[in-house]
């Protein structure tokens, strides 16, 4: 660890040391530069600077006493760049201190420029030394998300990552690994592995841990329920979409197809086609004929009017008449085997599940035939509170016109009813079932339940959805999910064990002295086929006096369980090879490059060792191997080792990683890995094409969050706690979250749409959700996720970054504004100025604006009256004063908290007057726009390279600046300049 710390030296410092050691770069005038330092620069520093900037109490934390030679001074490039800037601007020595003669200042400035120009020329394009560094917390979370497909965020308890001199936390200069952090990495890997579950052909990860049986049940059930809910089964939507197809010419879509409209309206194309054919078929009788009449009566398109209400009436008609002919199935028993016992309860479930598209023809009222009557029906065990309960019979009113059939036409009407009910089932799927079959509201949340009383068990009832709506690929997906219930969660095995341990004594409620316990070792014995067949024989013996239907129900029950249990056992054995292959594939993705032969063997040998020496079962060994992979430095570190001395091109996978962690803060995707494998990323045009593709991917949000959040210093805004909620009740948690999201959405939109960088300063638009719109006094937006773009935000005093409340609030102490903090933020973050921190003993201003005797503007003059403070405050206070039109939580205001009128006028550096955000923007546009563009380019370059900038990078920044001017200041111009640069594509 100490070696890493010793190596973590400023890149610029290393570059200068190398140049000094080689000597070649300074051969033209080394003695001249050394002599000029001794003769002019060192006396200048000693006379005018060291008095304040010495080791005892260094002003601005800058100690110059050790700079006794040219070599000592140029080792710290960042410091002497600041010295040059301050001396050249005549800000130092400060007013009131001894001032150098004009010639003295000019000679010192000339020497600094000579060294600066020599460094820029000799080392332009130098990739610098980028240290091996661990993944930052954010990079780790994003990489785990993309590696597993689940947003687990295992670093939430990690220490905050330190930032480098550029303000970013993705740099090898700061991303060291401590023993404490190493333990957290192990804990994070175990947390990730706990989400793993085995599949038939590999493994995957769930949104929650998958260790306990309840976790597995929840996952298996909810992935099916979520699938069901993604299917549109609203008949009104289908009728309306069919109407759109019928009138496609009038609606301006003459080339529209049923499939195209289905995609647009988010309905099943397969079912829409069936509904269309049903509505447009020849004249029918019965309910089908009535529905066709309603369809034909739908009006043609009218300006400003649709047919939604009419389509909903058609839907209501279908539901109403469909309920009149629903089949009903009466409880059955077989000797002592009651209706609540699982074999017979499953029989009843099966009858309903297989009759969803059928109807009870007995309910038709045929002229001249007696009506169907059920008054004398006796149902066994209807009063059992733990069984399926009483069947609610369908009872229709005599003379119902919906059910009327003319004499002698039963066959014709039954055929029409059959077609109607086949297309319009009584249910598409049943997602929950109570213990009492027809009391549907009693057991809410028993998803996919079989209806067993207090016993786990699931039953599939989705045949109409499967047959009518789902395409073959969707059917396969749903089948896989139901198989995973058994493969992943052992649901069929555990359900059968629960059943089998009851033996032939009935249901759980028949046990008076508690249920028999089953040890894990006994499970395999219970589910063994001979044991299962013996229990089947026992049941059939008990049911010998029962009906043939009941006996067959018992045989079917045991056949189903025997088949499914044998399948699970065989599938799990067969899948072990696939799981081992999946481990090596996972390792290759985790390491972000192909495995070497040794690494491949290492993964498999670790798994085998866990099985054989440690005694873990297959799944536990897979989990432990995943932990090993995730704790390997090959995963947790980004390293670009150099083979030999000198500068070298990055390898294909190193370049892919550098690009993906630049734009996504995460691992390369499959498309980028394919480019790397083909050796194509070495071509600048391919690299640039990939960068453009990746910027349009949703994962580019990470660039807005990680680069933008750190550049603008709002990455931790969600934890902001300085606002007094009693004084500012409108600042809710919802608003705080929206304030952070606003600049992120703005940046992401600009990045993904290749917007102009000048929109960051002068844009008249922003993004808000309803909570933020209320906070800003804007109309609510229209957006799919609640967020929308407001193009006329300038009407409400918003637009661009400068008036966003996140920055205004972050840079206010709570109960007052802070022109100093706001101005410092703008000067440093937006204009790219390097400003030293304030001295230790600075008098604090009153904390509460409402209790100040004087306006804040006048109280700030105390700082500017102090010569030690004036030089810095003159550079940024005016920016903050121009933002006084916003209160401590970023809302527009005309009076401060004490009721005094707010003055947002300011005199900016250079004696330029302005007022408010408009004046501030005009000042930047006229005087500082290039500072902003240069600063943004430098920050993005530092972020992309993962290191602090050196003087050797300035040539690239200037080249990108020239390209920006020629290409409308578009964001991708900066990205193109960076990713095709020598610095980005090489290492040393």
Which is it for strands 133-134 and 637-638: parallel, antiparallel or unpaired? antiparallel
Checking if the pLDDT of 124 tops 60, the result is yes
Checking if the pLDDT of 544 tops 50, the result is yes
Bridge partner list, 879 = none
If you average pLDDT over every residue of the chain, what do you get?
90
* Amino acid 119: pLDDT: 75
- How far apart CA 428 and CA 730 sit, in angstroms, is 46
Q: What is the pLDDT of residues 522-535, one digit of tens each?
A: 899 999 999 999 99
pLDDT band of residue 1 (cuts 50, 70, 90) is very low
Interval 659-677 mean pLDDT: 98
Contact 199, 488 (CB under 8 A): yes
Checking if the pLDDT of 34 tops 90, the result is no
C-alpha distances in angstroms, 264 versus 146, 241, 255, 743, 808?
A: 29, 9, 14, 31, 42
pLDDT band of residue 47 (cuts 50, 70, 90) is confident
* Amino acid 22: pLDDT: 35
Q: What is the pLDDT of residues 905-919, one digit of tens each?
A: 999 999 999 999 999
- How far apart CA 109 and CA 245 sit, in angstroms, is 77
Checking if the pLDDT of 16 tops 50, the result is no
- How far apart CA 703 and CA 664 sit, in angstroms, is 6
* Amino acid 20: pLDDT: 33
* Amino acid 87: pLDDT: 81
- 912-921 long-range contacts (CB < 8 A, ≥24 apart) are 914/882, 915/882, 916/882, 916/883, 916/885, 917/797, 917/802, 917/803, 917/882, 917/883, 917/885, 919/882, 920/802, 920/826, 920/879, 920/882, 920/883, 921/761, 921/762, 921/800, 921/802
List all residues 6 or more positions away from 201 whose beta carbon is below 8 Å from its beta carbon.
Answer: 575, 578, 582
pTM: 0.85
* Amino acid 60: pLDDT: 67
Minimum mean pLDDT among 775-779, 870-874, 979-983: which range? Answer: 870-874
Phi, psi of 382, rounded to the nearest 5 degrees? -65, -25
* Amino acid 5: pLDDT: 29
Q: What is the pLDDT of residues 738-780, one digit of tens each?
A: 999 999 999 999 999 999 999 999 999 999 999 999 999 999 8
* Amino acid 838: pLDDT: 67
């Amino acid at each position: 660890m100490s070696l890493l710390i010793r190596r973590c030296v400023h890149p610029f410092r290393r570059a200068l040391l190398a140049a000094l050691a080689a000597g070649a770069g300074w051969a033209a005038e080394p003695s001249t530069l050394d002599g000029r330092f001794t003769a002019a620069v060192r006396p200048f520093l000693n006379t005018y600077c060291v008095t304040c900037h010495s080791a005892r109490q260094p002003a601005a934390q800058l100690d110059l006493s050790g700079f006794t030679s040219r070599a000592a001074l140029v080792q710290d490039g960042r410091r002497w760049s600041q010295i040059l800037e301050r001396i050249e601007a005549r800000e130092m020595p400060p007013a009131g201190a001894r001032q150098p003669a004009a010639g003295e200042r000019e000679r010192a400035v000339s020497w600094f420029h000579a060294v600066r120009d020599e460094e820029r020329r000799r080392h332009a394009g130098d990739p610098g030394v980028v240290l091996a560094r661990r993944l930052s917390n954010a990079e780790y979370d994003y990489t785990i998300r993309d590696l597993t497909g689940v947003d687990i965020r295992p670093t939430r308890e990690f220490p905050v990552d330190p930032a480098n001199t550029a303000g970013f936390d993705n740099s090898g200069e700061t991303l060291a690994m401590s023993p404490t952090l190493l333990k957290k990495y192990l804990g994070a890997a175990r947390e990730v592995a706990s989400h793993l579950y085995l599949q038939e052909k590999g493994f995957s990860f769930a949104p929650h841990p998958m260790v306990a049986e309840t976790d597995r049940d929840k996952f298996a059930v909810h992935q099916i329920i979520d699938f069901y809910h993604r299917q549109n089964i609203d008949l009104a939507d289908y009728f309306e979409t069919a109407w759109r197809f019928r009138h496609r010419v009038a609606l301006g879509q003459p080339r529209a197809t049923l499939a195209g409209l289905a995609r647009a309206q988010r309905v099943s194309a397969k079912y829409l086609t069936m509904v269309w054919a049903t509505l447009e078929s020849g004249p029918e009788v019965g309910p089908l004929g009535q529905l066709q009449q309603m369809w034909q009566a739908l009006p043609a398109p009218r300006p400003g009017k649709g047919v939604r209400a009419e389509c909903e009436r058609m839907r209501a008609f279908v539901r109403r008449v469909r309920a009149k002919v629903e089949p009903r199935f009466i409880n059955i028993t077989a000797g002592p085997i009651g209706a609540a016992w699982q074999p017979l309860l499953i029989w009843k479930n099966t009858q309903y599940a297989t009759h969803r598209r059928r109807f009870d023809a007995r309910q038709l009222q045929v002229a001249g035939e007696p009506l169907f009557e059920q008054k004398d029906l006796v149902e066994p065990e209807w009063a059992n509170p733990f069984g399926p309960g009483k069947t609610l019979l369908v009872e229709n009113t005599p003379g119902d016109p919906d059910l009327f059939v003319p004499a002698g036409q039963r066959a014709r009407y039954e055929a029409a009813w059959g077609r109607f009910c086949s297309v319009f089932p009584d249910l598409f799927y049943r997602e929950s079932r109570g213990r009492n079959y027809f009391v549907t509201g009693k057991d809410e949340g028993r998803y996919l339940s079989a209806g067993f009383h207090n016993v786990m068990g699931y039953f599939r009832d989705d045949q109409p959805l499967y047959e009518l709506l789902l395409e073959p690929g969707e059917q396969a997906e749903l089948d896989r999910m139901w198989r995973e219930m058994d493969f992943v969660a052992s649901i069929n095995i555990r359900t059968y064990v629960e059943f089998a341990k009851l033996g032939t004594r009935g249901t759980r409620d028949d046990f008076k002295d508690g249920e028999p316990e089953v040890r894990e070792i006994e499970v395999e014995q219970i589910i063994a086929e001979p044991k299962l067949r013996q229990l089947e024989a026992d049941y059939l013996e008990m049911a010998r006096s029962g009906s043939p239907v009941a006996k067959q129900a018992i045989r079917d029950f045991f056949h189903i369980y025997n088949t499914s249990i044998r399948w699970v056992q065989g599938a799990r054995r067969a899948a072990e090879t696939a799981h081992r292959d999946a481990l090596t594939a996972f390792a290759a993705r985790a390491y972000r490059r192909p495995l070497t032969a040794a690494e491949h063997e290492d993964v498999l040998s670790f798994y085998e060792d866990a099985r054989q020496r440690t005694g873990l079962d297959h799944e536990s060994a897979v989990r432990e191997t995943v932990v090993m992979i995730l704790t390997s430095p090959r995963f947790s570190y980004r390293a670009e080792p150099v083979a030999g001395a000198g500068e070298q091109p990055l390898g294909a996978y190193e370049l892919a990683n550098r690009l993906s962690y630049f734009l996504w803060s995460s691992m390369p995707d499959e498309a980028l890995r394919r480019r790397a494998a083909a050796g194509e990323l070495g071509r600048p045009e391919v690299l640039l094409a990939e960068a453009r593709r990746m910027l349009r991917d949703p994962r580019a949000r990470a660039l807005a969050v990680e680069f933008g959040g750190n550049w603008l210093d709002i990455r931790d805004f969600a934890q902001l706690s300085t606002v007094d909620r009693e004084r500012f009740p409108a600042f809710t948690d919802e608003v705080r979250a929206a304030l952070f999201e606003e600049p992120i959405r703005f940046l992401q939109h600009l990045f993904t749409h290749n917007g102009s960088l000048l929109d960051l300063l002068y844009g008249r638009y922003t993004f808000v959700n309803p909570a933020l719109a209320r906070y800003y006094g804007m109309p609510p937006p229209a957006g799919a996720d609640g967020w929308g773009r407001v193009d006329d935000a300038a009407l409400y005093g918003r637009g661009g970054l400068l008036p966003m409340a996140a920055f205004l609030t972050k840079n206010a102490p709570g109960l007052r504004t802070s022109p100093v903090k706001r101005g410092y933020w703008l000067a440093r973050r937006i204009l790219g100025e390097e400003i030293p921190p304030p001295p230790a003993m600075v008098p604090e201003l009153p904390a509460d604006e409402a209790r100040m005797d004087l306006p804040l503007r006048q109280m700030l003059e105390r700082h500017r009256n102090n010569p030690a403070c004036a030089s810095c405050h003159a550079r940024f206070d005016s920016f903050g004063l121009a933002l006084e039109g916003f209160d401590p939580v970023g809302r527009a205001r005309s009076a401060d908290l004490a009721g005094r009128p707010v003055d947002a006028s300011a005199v900016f550096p250079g004696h330029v007057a302005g007022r408010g955000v408009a004046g501030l923007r005009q000042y930047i546009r006229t005087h500082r726009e290039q500072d902003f563009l240069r600063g943004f380019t430098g920050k993005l370059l530092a972020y992309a390279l993962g290191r602090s900038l050196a003087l050797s990078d300035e040539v690239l920044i200037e080249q990108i600046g020239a390209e920006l001017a020629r290409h409308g200041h578009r964001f991708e111009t900066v990205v193109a300049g960076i990713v095709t640069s020598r610095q980005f594509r090489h290492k040393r």
